């Protein structure tokens, strides 16, 4: 299977796409307004402890208080400001249960879930620091080796190395990527993590306010750290600084991978590789797959519902076989859509009704096999007598639908349109493509009044900068005939519309 990672940067956002056999399976979006919070560590103040809901609210210095379920409280966490150094993190006193949570006290927590709708981020007291080859676990004494490392001698060697290297009061998990690496690389990785922990301790001792004490690396960097290995055929980046940074990082961890990193010099990276079209398709409510069948995907705050439809598929004479074939194809597409959209929580799938129990079992087995490709934790129930399959998927980041689209004011929230920020980014990429193929000096861009107001308020400076960069005069024109989720571009010279040409 061919696997590729694409990283595209604009002034407003960073997009990371993962393709398997040219098909988009994962997409990550990072913007200045929505920075990644997963794995950030905060020294927070316990604001409220509510036994009735089995959770505490922690002030962490962000807009919303974090949510700490009692189930996420471990025995090993409470950092002391009297801590004397990295060699032995002290515990003051151990938190054994919710009874140890006292309002007003400080506590060290790590973000495990992004904020969701009106809810703050989910946090845990189970602190860890991830590196390329290992994961440092303060306040622990356990040494763990990845189950994917099967060689017994290698496991013993890694465990012995970890026991000798890790100071008292720390645990360590050796990651799969360490299997084929020299011990010196792993030792260097662990030393960096210990140094990071020492910096956290310094910040904790010097602060009197709830605040972040460790910021996890950005999305693109963490993807390279966690996913870029010999299974990935190539990484393509369209930003020169990001390209140099990633090459520098990879040269320190695995020089053999350097030849797989490429810089995309000109044009739209996502456009040229067909990724933009795949993104536009996944934003739609109706998702077509093979044999002219399709899914209807409905997202609500409470759950995600997916309806399987046979569409125009006719197939063979045997109706049961036809239905099974559509359901099996749907199972593959649904598993991909869940990864791509990053949907979490409760999911209900309405497969087409099957009669034979053997076919129902075959469908359940196939769906579970497809879900194994997903890095998020999933759990599925059996098909009900109504053909419904209920499942849950681990929610870490917010669904991309909510990151890349706004509620549509025209349909009162029943549908969605591209977000204004996403539209500005699209216009910027369009201009970039246009100037590669056209030497015109002036264009008119027609946009909906709502988008025009948004650009005037927030991005005047950005478009001034774009105009100087490309030596192109851009005039925005309000146009009620242009849909709120699109823009139209016209030449000044002959008033021809050229939107679709570029």
- 3-35+218-276 CATH fold: Nucleotidyltransferase; domain 5 (3.30.420)
* CATH architecture of the region 419-501: 3-Layer(aba) Sandwich (3.40)
Cα distance between residue 178 and residue 186, in whole Å:
7
Q: Residue with structure tokens 């390279």?
A: 224
Beta bridge partners of 43: 108, 211
Does this model's pTM top 0.75?
no
> Burial, 38: exposed, middle or buried (Cβ in 10 Å; 0-12, 13-18, 19+)?
middle
Cα distance between residue 474 and residue 491, in whole Å:
10
- The gap between the terminal CA atoms of the chain, to the nearest Å, is 32
> pLDDT tens for residues 393-441?
987 776 777 677 766 665 545 566 788 898 999 999 999 999 988 989 9
Beta bridge partners of 111: 123
Beta-carbon contacts of residue 21 (< 8 Å; ≥ 6 apart): 1, 2
What CATH code would you report for 41-214?
3.30.230.10
CB 38 within 8 A of CB 90: no
Residue ranges for the chain with pLDDT beneath 70: 32-34, 75-98, 117, 314-316, 398, 402, 406-416
As given in the structure block, the two tokens for residue 389 are 């399959």
- To 10 degrees, what angle do helices 275-282 and 319-341 make? 110
**Main-chain phi, psi angles of 383, to 5 degrees:** -60, 135
Burial 368-402 (b: 16+ CB within 10 A, else e): eebbeebebebebeebeeebebebbbebbbbbbbb
- Please tell us whether the domain made up of 283-400 is placed in CATH 3.40.50: no
pLDDT of residue 95: 58
Q: With the CA atoms of 102, 104, 106 and 111 taken in that order, what torsion angle do they form, in degrees rounded to the nearest 10?
A: 90
Cα distance between residue 69 and residue 54, in whole Å:
6
pLDDT of residue 475: 94
CB 419 within 8 A of CB 60: no
> pLDDT tens for residues 194-238?
999 999 999 998 888 899 999 988 888 889 988 998 899 999 999
pLDDT of residue 85: 42
> pLDDT tens for residues 246-278?
999 999 888 889 999 999 988 889 989 999 888
pLDDT of residue 82: 46
pLDDT of residue 314: 66
Secondary structure element (H or E) that encloses residue 225, with its range = helix 219-227
As given in the structure block, the two tokens for residue 476 are 């925005």
Pairing type for strands 3-9 and 234-237 reads parallel
8-state DSSP, 482: S
| Domain boundaries defined on the chain | 3-35+218-276, 41-214, 283-400, 419-501
């Amino acid at each position: 299977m061919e696997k590729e990672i694409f990283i595209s940067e604009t002034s407003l956002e960073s997009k990371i796409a993962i393709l398997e056999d040219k098909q988009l399976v994962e997409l990550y979006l990072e913007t200045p307004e929505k920075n990644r919070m997963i794995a950030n560590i905060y020294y927070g103040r316990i604001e409220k402890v509510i036994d009735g809901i089995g959770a505490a609210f922690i002030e962490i210095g962000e807009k919303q208080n974090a949510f700490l379920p009692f189930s996420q409280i471990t025995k090993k966490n409470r950092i002391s400001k009297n801590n004397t150094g990295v060699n032995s993190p002290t515990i003051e006193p151990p938190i054994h249960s919710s009874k140890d949570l006292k309002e007003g006290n400080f506590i060290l927590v790590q973000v495990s879930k992004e904020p969701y709708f009106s809810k703050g981020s989910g946090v845990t007291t189970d602190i860890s620091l991830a590196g390329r080859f290992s994961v440092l676990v303060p306040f622990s004494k356990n040494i763990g080796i990845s189950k994917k490392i099967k060689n017994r001698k290698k496991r013993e060697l890694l465990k012995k190395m970890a026991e000798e290297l890790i100071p008292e009061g720390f645990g360590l998990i050796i990651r799969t990527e360490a299997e084929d690496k020299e011990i010196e690389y792993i030792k260097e990785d662990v030393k960096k993590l210990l140094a990071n922990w020492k910096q956290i301790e310094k910040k904790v001792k010097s602060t009197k306010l709830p605040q972040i004490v460790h910021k996890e690396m950005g999305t693109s960097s963490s993807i390279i750290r966690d996913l870029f290995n010999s299974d990935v055929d190539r990484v393509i980046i369209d930003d020169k600084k990001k390209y140099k940074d990633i090459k520098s990082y990879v040269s320190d961890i695995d020089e053999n991978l350097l030849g797989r990193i490429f810089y995309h010099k000109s044009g739209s990276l996502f456009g040229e590789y067909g990724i933009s079209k795949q993104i536009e398709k996944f934003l739609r409510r109706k998702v077509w797959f093979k044999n002219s069948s399709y899914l209807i995907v409905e997202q609500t705050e409470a759950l995600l519902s997916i309806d399987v439809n046979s569409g125009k598929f006719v197939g063979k004479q045997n109706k049961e076989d036809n239905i099974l074939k559509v359901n099996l194809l749907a199972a593959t597409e649904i598993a991909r859509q869940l990864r791509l959209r990053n949907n979490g929580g409760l999911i209900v799938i309405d497969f087409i009704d099957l009669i034979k129990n053997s076919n129902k079992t075959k469908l359940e087995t196939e769906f579970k096999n497809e879900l194994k490709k997903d890095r998020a934790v999933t759990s599925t129930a059996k098909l009900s007598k109504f053909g419904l399959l209920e499942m849950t998927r681990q929610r870490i980041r917010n669904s991309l639908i909510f990151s890349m689209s706004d509620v549509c004011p025209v349909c009162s929230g029943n549908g969605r349109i591209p977000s204004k920020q996403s539209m500005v980014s699209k216009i910027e990429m369009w201009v970039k493509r246009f100037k590669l193929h056209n030497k015109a000096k002036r264009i008119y861009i027609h946009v909906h009044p709502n988008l025009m107001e948004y650009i005037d308020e927030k991005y005047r400076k950005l478009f001034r900068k774009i105009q100087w960069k490309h030596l192109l005069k851009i005039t925005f024109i309000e146009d009620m005939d242009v849909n709120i989720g699109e823009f139209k571009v016209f030449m000044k010279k002959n008033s021809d519309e050229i939107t679709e040409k570029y």
